[in-house]
Amino acid sequence: MFLANLKLHPAFTVGAVERELFGGFVEHLGRHIYGGIYEPGHPTAGPDGFRRDVVDLVRELGISHVRYPGGNFVSAYDWEDGVGPVADRPRRLDLAWHSIEPNEVGLHEFSDWLDLVGADLMLGTNLGTRGVRETLHLLEYANVPAGTARSDERRENGREEPFDVRMWCLGNELDGDWQIGAKTAEEYGRLAKVTARAMRAIDQDLKLAACGSSWRGMPTFGVWERTVLEHAFEEIDYISCHAYYHEVDGDAASFLASGVDMDDFIESVVHTIEHARAVKGSKRRIDLSFDEWNIWYQDPDEIDTASWPIAPRLLENQYSVTDAVVLGGLLISLLKHADRVTAANLAQLVNVIAPIMTEPGGPAWRQTTFFPFAATSRLATGTALRGALDAPSVATAKFGDVPAIDAVATLDGDRAAVFVLNRSVDDTAEFAIDIAALDLDGPVRAQGIWDEDRHAKNTLDQPERVTLRENTKISRENGTVTVELPPVSWTCITIG
């Protein structure tokens, strides 16, 4: 057992917790759409082909908005293929995932699905094989009310009112040589600038995210961001960050410290933004859209390049308790930076590195990672507070000594929530939270993810093996709440 404590004070405010911190991501990839959210003939499917059991789980997950339609897929996608009568839509080669795209689901159908799950759209535009012209056509189709060729085409296709898409991604990971239509930073920075400028000529009130690096391990990381910002600073609202983590060779200690890496990544990009702002003498504020983040065990051999299947099983990671604990830790990292990370998207949502899994003709279930996301999305409201944390260190091979505990709190009127990670692989923590300065009454409660078997997973055969557990080892005495945190655990504590 080790001791750790967190002192909370309203003066330690980081910033407002934007709802857009809890976005999801749906890509045309594997069984995400076809055989995932969309399965005509499934016992729970409506006349629209969308599975209602999946809709219910997505609602329970609590996502604010969904990035769509990719990812790598978007970089060779023609959005026009996905509108108009379904029977007339072309089948295409999806070069990103070596699959056939049947185009049964496109902008209209996906928007209808978003209405079912109660989330907004963050639309990606193809700046890989296409550019300004096609993006403007898409924007006109989506957002102009009526009276122009594209907007009237939308109305003829059955949608009288505009989709009114507010959040847009200017391409995807165009620094990566795997990306169809990859670009240099100079090429992309200029394209992002002219595209954004033209889009604003149609609609001033858009939130535009330019591509940052595909991940911070890219050889051009930092220089890419600086160059893109030099070109597009006055036109964009966000620069994107992407990060995926996984456990390597059983090194749980390093894996549990993934949030240290995410913290540093975020702070590096914020510094790069502020450098660009200083050089330009600009007053503009650019934030981070962390529009892909998750745990991902990549298998470079899983794509079958000898065939072109429809909806193959790809990226179907099964997540363990440890994965869920780390995912909860990554949410803590995002919340600690709520002042600058004002949009984020868990990548992805159903079947593909996803919190929700489905079986064709069968059930849908929650992966372990579902629980920390759903709880954080539900409880993290109001403002984020960092707090003064005092905790011992644990040694990691990858990041050196790191604090054994990571934590963040949110304060919303007379209610607070504290999210906390115990990174120790072996030891329970006695964690004391000093809330004297918050003036909160009401009950305290702790729930979390931990297990005797940190490798336990939810599967088709055992879909409820892992769930959010009640932690009864919590007490409150005057201004201090004390909780026992098991090793390898993520916990959310509510006060009030």
- Can you give the binding site for ligand AHR, defined by CB under 6 A? 27, 70-72, 172-173, 214, 292, 347-348
The residue among 5 and 172 lying less far from ligand AHR, judged by its C-beta, is 172
The residue with its CB nearest to ligand AHR is 71
The residue among 291 and 451 lying less far from ligand AHR, judged by its C-beta, is 291
The residue among 209 and 409 lying less far from ligand AHR, judged by its C-beta, is 209
- Minimum Å distance from CB 178 to ligand AHR? 8
- Minimum Å distance from CB 230 to ligand AHR? 24
Residue 472, CB half-sphere, CA atoms under 13 Å: how many? 0
- Minimum Å distance from CB 258 to ligand AHR? 17
The residue among 211 and 379 lying less far from ligand AHR, judged by its C-beta, is 211
Catalytic positions: 173, 292
The residue among 135 and 471 lying less far from ligand AHR, judged by its C-beta, is 135
- Minimum Å distance from CB 185 to ligand AHR? 17
- Minimum Å distance from CB 283 to ligand AHR? 32
- Minimum Å distance from CB 176 to ligand AHR? 7
The residue among 135 and 494 lying less far from ligand AHR, judged by its C-beta, is 135
